[in-house]
Amino acid sequence: MKVLEIVKLLEGKIVTSSQAMDRQIDAAFSSDLMSDVLTLNDFQNVALITGLANIQTIRTVEMAGIYFVILVRGKKASDEMIELAEENETIIIETAYSAFRTSALIYNSGVKSLY
């Protein structure tokens, strides 16, 4: 599923200025524990769904090779988060939906779950 399709589905907002909005998201993972995110191996085109809106989230996805972050529950990315995400070509999407609803909508639209 394309990033812009997910934004529309989630009634979300892209807060980074990355030029890669046509990129594909094939799988998603929901977690607020960054240690769990670091256990992921060899997955491409994965989105992290999380309510953890701090700089550590962006540092973690950078180490894990994840380029899509969906912030749920109305959480807002800080300027520092956005700056680091843009340096790493990571797209941040904000949505008011819960992690559960976000996961269900994305899954029902054909995006695979990692587990």
Q: What percent of the chain has pLDDT over 70?
A: 96
CB–CB of 85/4 below 8 Å?
A: no
Q: In which band, very low, low, confident or very high, does the pLDDT at 19 lie, cut at 50, 70 and 90?
A: low
Q: In which band, very low, low, confident or very high, does the pLDDT at 94 lie, cut at 50, 70 and 90?
A: very high
User: For residue range 72-85, what is the model confidence (pLDDT) as tens digits?
Assistant: 999 999 999 999 99
Q: In which band, very low, low, confident or very high, does the pLDDT at 115 lie, cut at 50, 70 and 90?
A: confident
- Asked whether the whole model's pTM tops 0.85, one would answer yes
Backbone dihedral angles phi then psi of residue 18, each to the nearest 5 degrees: -60, 145
13-14, strands of its sheet edge to edge: 13-14, 91-94, 68-71, 46-50, 27-30, 112-113
